[in-house]
Structure 1
Amino acid sequence: MSIRNIVVKQYREKVNRTAKAVSQIGMPAEGWLCTARKALHMSAAELARRLGKSRALVSNTEKAELDGGVTLKTMQNMAEAMNCKFVYAIVPQESVKTILEEQAHKKAKQIVEATGTHMALEDQALSQYEMELEIERVARDLLHDMPSDFWRDTP
């Protein structure tokens, strides 16, 4: 296994581990800022004082979090003011392997169908079974070599 493949495998394992760890976490109805502040029994006025900001800013920021209108830096600063740690993650909805396999199959189908059209014009069409086998073979090749246009949806 090449160094590149080992590194890619490590990235995939890290993302999959993180996805598994956070799969049950959802944002509370009031948002994380408000929920954490209330869990600490800290008033918005006290959080504002610790931040050196106004009470209105804290309230507006807590509302903005619910709409996705707050920066990561603001979330981090507010978390630190509550002696908390702000974390975020981007995790796949399925395993990385599944997402890659689905994309490889989709791309392989496009490639094989485009080739099949040309073959049919030359009276060399493949049967449905042969097409399915060829799609699986091309998908395996795509996963193995991962071309630069892997995520491009047109062949």
Structure 2
Amino acid sequence: MKSDTRKRARERLDERLAPLKPAERFRAPPKGWVRAIRDALGMSGVQFARRLRVQPPSVAALEASEESGAIQLNTLRRAAEALDCTVVYALVPNDSLEGAVRARARKIALRDLGRVAHTMKLEAQGTPDSSSDERVEAYIRDKLKERDLWNEP
């Protein structure tokens, strides 16, 4: 089953990303990583420019682009190599990936079950509490397809 495979893939990614949380630990220094590491090494902008094989004004532009968040990944990699560093690139989910899928499915189930309850109430037909956990879980299991969870914003 594809959904089981995706679930296992999410769980493996969650395990790999867990050591990166909280992501705040890796927030860039105010002037960026390149400038912070270059300064910590005692390397001047001119020396760094030579290592990058660029003109010194390009170093200032590179550091400014990192500070503003506009630096390109390949430029950051070149800078890292010149500083004898490695760029570590990851997207770290705020929640677990599995948690994000469960939360999204629950949100959709509650919305859809709420619509059904409202319609039945208008027709003077009672329904059990639309937010009961059993009904929500049954709706998720029986009606929702994982591929459809992200069709809407």
Same fold (TM over 0.5): yes
Gaps of 5+ in 1: none
Question: What is the alpha-carbon distance in structure 1 between the residues aligned to residue 121 and residue 99 of structure 2?
Answer: 32
Gaps of 5+ in 2: none
Alignment of 1:74-113 (within 5 A): 74-113=75-114
Q: Which amino acid aligns with 1:20?
A: P
Pairwise CA RMSD: 2.4
Shift of 1:153: 3.6
Residue of structure 1 in register with 2:13 after alignment? 14
Shift of 1:83: 1.4
Question: Do the aligned partners of 1:47 and 1:81 also contact (CA within 8 Å) in 2?
Answer: yes
| CA distance 1:22–1:83, shift in 2 (3 Å) | farther
Q: Which amino acid aligns with 2:100?
A: I
Cα deviations across residues 3-48 of structure 1 (Å, max 9, x unaligned)?
Answer: 7623541343224422433533221122111112122222111111
Question: What is the alpha-carbon distance in structure 1 between the residues aligned to residue 105 and residue 85 of structure 2?
Answer: 41
| CA distance 1:149–1:7, shift in 2 (3 Å) | closer
Alignment of 1:17-96 (within 5 A): 17-23=16-22, 24-96=25-97
Question: Do the aligned partners of 2:117 and 2:127 also contact (CA within 8 Å) in 1?
Answer: yes
Question: Do the aligned partners of 2:113 and 2:131 also contact (CA within 8 Å) in 1?
Answer: yes
Of all paired residues, the percent bearing the same amino acid is: 29
Question: Do the aligned partners of 1:16 and 1:91 also contact (CA within 8 Å) in 2?
Answer: no
Question: What is the alpha-carbon distance in structure 2 between the residues aligned to residue 119 and residue 72 of structure 1?
Answer: 54
What's the secondary structure of 1:89's corresponding residue?
coil
Question: Do the aligned partners of 1:107 and 1:153 also contact (CA within 8 Å) in 2?
Answer: no
| CA distance 1:56–1:15, shift in 2 (3 Å) | farther
What's the secondary structure of 2:148's corresponding residue?
coil
Shift of 1:72: 0.4
1:137 aligns with 2:144: no
Counting matched residue pairs gives 150
